[in-house]
Structure 1
Amino acid sequence: MKKVGLYFGTFNPIHLGHLVIANHLVEFTDLDEVWFVITPQSPFKTKQSLLSNHHRYQMVLEATEEYPKLKPSNIEFNLPQPNYTVHTLAHLLEKYPNGYDFSLIMGEDNLKSLHKWKNYEVILENHNIYVYPRVSSGTIDHQFKNNPKIKMVTDAPIMEISSTFIRKNHKLGKNITPLLPTAVFKYMDEMNFYR
């Protein structure tokens, strides 16, 4: 049984913080692989700063090329919008009925709002959740504190890099190259993104 951690995000762009967390989880927990599940652009909310699905997928592909245990996933691109995590998980179980055990990966800040997610009880009943630390995460709902399905990864590095910071400062002409995998910066620069 292959244990796969699903790391959801827009990855606009993917940066070293994402890679460090994903790599830590795949190397220091019982996960065999981490899949970066790229959230599609919502047809209802067209955000000017959000690159097309294709370009964000390509950047994740470039970023993970040297890491065989890290993979991009476009599984949500063809699902009806708005999409919910519970639907994505059902779709993955349908697509990979044998040999895969899917878990979620999230920051402590997201765990705080898990009780607001659609059918969160179904998710918790059927999937583990690996939670990495954040600097300012606040208090976690008591129902999640000692839940055996929630695995707190307390030794994961705390990465306070944000894609918003990267986009904003790239536009201002600041040197943000140390925050990105080289291949991602190259692709971003060649395509003239976030200028």
Structure 2
Amino acid sequence: MRRIGILGGTFNPVHIGHLAIAQRARENLGLDKVFFVPSNLPPHKSSKNVLPSAQRYHMVQMAIEGNPYFDISDFEINREGRSYSIDTVEHFYNLYLGKAKLYFIIGEDSFAKLDTWKHIDNIVKLADFVVVNRPGINVEDSKIKVRTIEMPGLDISSSSVRRCLRLGKTVKYFLPEKVLEYIKRKKLYV
């Protein structure tokens, strides 16, 4: 049976932290593939400063290009309205119809808000939750069974990347080179 990871996010922009999380999850869980799933309109975030989905999708494509273990899904960006994880997990579940075990990869920030997620009880029936966290973060009190993967020392967020870009500071080592070139060429986040 195949092992498929699902890493959803706004990816506004995608950065090396996202790639490192996907790689660590792939290695630790023996995943055959990790799908990056850019959201259309995330339910827990303001869409005020979010680039159009086509641009975010393109940046993820550039970031994962050449990695045979990474792929991208346009499922959420092709949907109208808000992107809910239950719809994405059901999509992948139906796509593989019992031929794959699904692992839904989230960060500790998303984990802290699980009780607000739509149909969380159904999601956990279809996929294992994998929480990527920093050492010392406790997920043992969770009512939901989760696996954890520690990611020490990688404190990068899309919002901090956008802030640096707005302030004219370098983000050279935070973004894949092609993504940085694209952002500069299109004058994004300034």
Shorter-chain TM band: 0.7 to 0.9
Q: Which residue is equivalent to 1:163? A: 158
Q: Which residue is equivalent to 1:151? A: 147
Q: Does 1:188 align with 2:183?
A: yes
Query: CA offset at residue 53 of structure 1?
Result: 0.6
Indicate if the aligned counterparts of 1:133 and 1:158 stay in contact, CA closer than 8 A: no
List runs of 5+ in structure 2 lacking aligned partners. none
Tell me the matched-pair count: 189
Query: CA offset at residue 21 of structure 1?
Result: 1.0
Indicate if the aligned counterparts of 1:7 and 1:105 stay in contact, CA closer than 8 A: yes
Task: Output one character per residue of 1:86-107: Cα deviation in whole Å (capped at 9) or x when no partner.
Answer: 1222222333435333220012
Superposition TM-score, scaled by structure 1 size: 0.86
Task: Output one character per residue of 1:25-54: Cα deviation in whole Å (capped at 9) or x when no partner.
Answer: 1122221111111011369x8734211111
Q: How does 1:40-51 map to 2 (within 5 A)?
A: 40-41=40-41, 47-51=47-51
Partner amino acid for 1:55?
Q
Stretch of structure 1 that moved more, 133-142 or 16-25: 133-142
Partner amino acid for 2:148?
M
Q: How does 1:18-37 map to 2 (within 5 A)?
A: 18-37=18-37
Task: Output one character per residue of 1:85-138: Cα deviation in whole Å (capped at 9) or x when no partner.
Answer: 112222223334353332200122322322221221111122111111136856
Q: How does 1:29-178 map to 2 (within 5 A)?
A: 29-41=29-41, 47-97=47-97, 99-134=99-134, 137=137, 141-144=141-144, 147=145, 150-154=146-150, 156-178=151-173
Indicate if the aligned counterparts of 2:5 and 2:105 stay in contact, CA closer than 8 A: yes
CA distance change for structure 1 residues 83 and 14 in 2, over 3 Å: closer, same or farther? closer
Indicate if the aligned counterparts of 2:40 and 2:79 stay in contact, CA closer than 8 A: no
CA distance change for structure 1 residues 53 and 191 in 2, over 3 Å: closer, same or farther? same
Stretch of structure 1 that moved more, 98-107 or 117-126: 98-107
Query: CA offset at residue 188 of structure 1?
Result: 0.9
In the alignment, the residues of structure 1 paired with residue 182 and residue 11 of structure 2 have an alpha-carbon distance, to the nearest angstrom, of 14
Task: Output one character per residue of 1:51-84: Cα deviation in whole Å (capped at 9) or x when no partner.
Answer: 1111100100000002110112211122242232
Query: CA offset at residue 186 of structure 1?
Result: 0.8
Stretches of 4+ moved more than 6 A in 1?
none
Stretch of structure 1 that moved more, 47-56 or 173-182: 47-56
In the alignment, the residues of structure 1 paired with residue 32 and residue 152 of structure 2 have an alpha-carbon distance, to the nearest angstrom, of 19
Query: CA offset at residue 13 of structure 1?
Result: 0.5
List runs of 5+ in structure 1 lacking aligned partners. none
Partner amino acid for 1:75?
F
In the alignment, the residues of structure 1 paired with residue 148 and residue 42 of structure 2 have an alpha-carbon distance, to the nearest angstrom, of 31
Task: Output one character per residue of 1:122-157: Cα deviation in whole Å (capped at 9) or x when no partner.
Answer: 11122111111136856654423xx3xx21123x34
Percent identity between the two aligned chains: 32
In the alignment, the residues of structure 2 paired with residue 194 and residue 109 of structure 1 have an alpha-carbon distance, to the nearest angstrom, of 23
In the alignment, the residues of structure 1 paired with residue 29 and residue 100 of structure 2 have an alpha-carbon distance, to the nearest angstrom, of 16
The alignment's C-alpha RMSD in Å is: 2.3
